[in-house]
Amino acid sequence: MDEEKNFSAENNNPPYNSETPPQPVQTPVYNPFMYEPIGISDFDKAAVEAMKAAEERKEKIKRMRRERGIFFLVIFIFVIAALLAVYGIVSDIRKGNIENIIPNEHIVLYQNSKPEGANDLSNFIDENGKYTTEGAAAAVKPSIVEIYTYGDSVKNELHGTGSGVVLSKDGYIVTNAHVLQADGYHTVHTVDGKVLNASIVGRDSKTDIAVIKVNSSELTPAVLGDSDEVIVGEQVIAIGNPAGLSSSVTDGIVSAVSRKIRSDSTGFEMECIQTNAAISPGNSGGALVNMYGQVIGITSSKYVSSSYEGLGFAITINAVKPIIEELIDKGYMSGRFRIGITLTGMDSEEQISAIESALGFELPKDFSGVYIVDISDDCDIAKTELKKGDFITKIDGKPIKNYNELYDAISGKYKAGDTVPATCAHVTKDKQVKYYDIEFKLMEDTSGNF
């Protein structure tokens, strides 16, 4: 016993106990390469994560409250500022201090006039009588009139407008035939504002030229030039009334001379001057003028290319002059003939389809001719075997398939009163073609419609 005491005292250790001594609390050891501590139980992990999530929720709620407070503070400040601004404006208006809101700035606009006499016509012409563009326009505009065509005598039904060129002081005016209506009513508006009733003296649809007359002795006639003297490249102006815009002037150059151009409505060929001066439908019947103030052509939309920009034509004044003279003398163009048929050509698939639709069946392949839509009872051709729905395939042995080929075949050899041989055809539903020959007399046309 004493030995045991001594042993304990010397070693300063508690006496040996055969039972297992209590274990000290194990401190978690962290691995720097892992998120979770080593030595913590799953239960402790869940508790830690729950505490962490709770803290994050609290922090989020606090942040949302702060942001909401800032938002409402900004809105409040904005509303207060707006109210103060409105109050200030209303207060200034009531006190008459509107100039404090809209400052009264003085803007200086600089404007000056041309020198005295700058617009005198004498300034736009040289010693040789050649005008500038301004001079030519000023010299010729009084001779260009605007023509209105109506369908009734009280002039409520406006059918169209166009232009005209004054030929004489006593009221003769040249224009395009398509501007007028054969049984219509027409008025002329002069550049000085006068409105005059007009009557048709004569018209020729083939050339698209017509002459009208008004009762006046105070018109300014245009000076006609010589279109044979026109050269390529010389400057020209076109004067007319496009879209009802009176006395409009466009300028350009002569692009080509002696062009043989067919009218897109009648197919009749006329000698024309080609120009890049703009020519639109309202210019029809207007003037193409050189820089000497001379009319060298009559503009017509029927001779204007719709496929290309900057490509216009005017019928040469030398070609127009004899037509004017004969229309004034006789009221019509002598030598004009009419066959007495209305036809459709077979130039395109669209035309062929229209013919087949009218017949109710398809035509044989490689068949061609002109389809007879109607026949006038007052013409000699109505006495022949030819019927509506048949075809004319040849004139005097020459194959034809459109109006131009028909007209060329006749006009090159025959005149009014002559008898013309023709080959015709009747096509059946089963595509059988029966050919037969006829002869018909050409009728003289004095109406100007053909």
Please give the C-alpha separations between residue 261 and each of 258, 266, 282, 400, in angstroms, as whole numbers.
Answer: 9, 11, 20, 20
- pLDDT, one tens digit per residue, over 76-107 is 888 888 888 887 777 766 665 555 555 567 88
Instruction: Based on the fold, state whether residues 238 and 307 are members of the same structural domain.
Output: yes
Q: Could you tell me if residue 394 is inside a domain?
A: yes
pLDDT at residue 9, rounded to an integer: 41
- The angle at the Cα of 191, spanning 185 to 197, to the nearest 5 degrees, equals 20
208 is catalytic: yes
Cβ proximity of 202 and 177 under 8 Å: no
Query: Which residue in the list 143, 204, 205, 208 is annotated as catalytic?
Result: 208
Query: Which residue in the list 205, 227, 263, 284 is annotated as catalytic?
Result: 284
- pLDDT, one tens digit per residue, over 174-191 is 999 999 998 999 999 999
Q: Could you tell me if residue 349 is inside a domain?
A: yes
φ, ψ of residue 143 to 5 degrees: the values are -95, 0
Report how far residue 375's alpha carbon sits from residue 144's, in angstroms, rounded to the nearest whole number.
Answer: 40
Q: Could you tell me if residue 263 is inside a domain?
A: yes
Instruction: Based on the fold, state whether residues 256 and 346 are members of the same structural domain.
Output: no
Q: Which of 161, 173, 170 is nearest to 202 (CA)?
A: 173
Q: Please tell me which residue, 13 or 368, carries the higher pLDDT value.
A: 368
pLDDT at residue 118, rounded to an integer: 86
Domain that holds residue 312: 227-319
Instruction: Based on the fold, state whether residues 74 and 128 are members of the same structural domain.
Output: no
Instruction: Based on the fold, state whether residues 352 and 437 are members of the same structural domain.
Output: yes
| Least trusted range by pLDDT, from 2-11, 49-58, 242-251, 399-408 | 2-11
Instruction: Based on the fold, state whether residues 276 and 354 are members of the same structural domain.
Output: no
Mean of per-residue pLDDT scores for the chain: 85
Q: How many other C-beta atoms lie within 10 A of the C-beta of residue 247?
A: 17
Q: Could you tell me if residue 352 is inside a domain?
A: yes
Report how far residue 240's alpha carbon sits from residue 165's, in angstroms, rounded to the nearest whole number.
Answer: 9
pLDDT at residue 98, rounded to an integer: 55
- pLDDT, one tens digit per residue, over 364-389 is 999 999 999 999 999 999 999 999 99
- Predicted TM-score of the model (pTM): 0.68
Instruction: Based on the fold, state whether residues 369 and 412 are members of the same structural domain.
Output: yes
Total domain count, the chain = 4
- pLDDT, one tens digit per residue, over 285-333 is 999 999 999 999 999 876 655 555 667 899 999 999 999 999 999 999 9
Report how far residue 278's alpha carbon sits from residue 290's, in angstroms, rounded to the nearest whole number.
Answer: 15
CATH no. for residue 383? Answer: 2.30.42.10
**pLDDT value at 44 more than 70:** no
**pLDDT value at 8 more than 70:** no
Q: Which of 128, 139, 300 is nearest to 207 (CA)?
A: 300
Is residue 26 exposed (0-12), middle (13-18) or buried (19+ Cβ within 10 Å)?
exposed
Domain boundary residue among 161, 190, 214?
Answer: 214
Query: Which residue in the list 143, 178, 255, 390 is annotated as catalytic?
Result: 178
Length reported for the chain = 450
Instruction: Based on the fold, state whether residues 406 and 347 are members of the same structural domain.
Output: yes
Predicted confidence band of residue 278 (pLDDT cuts 50, 70, 90): confident
Ramachandran category for residue 171: left, alpha or beta (phi over 0 → left; psi -120 to 50 → alpha): left
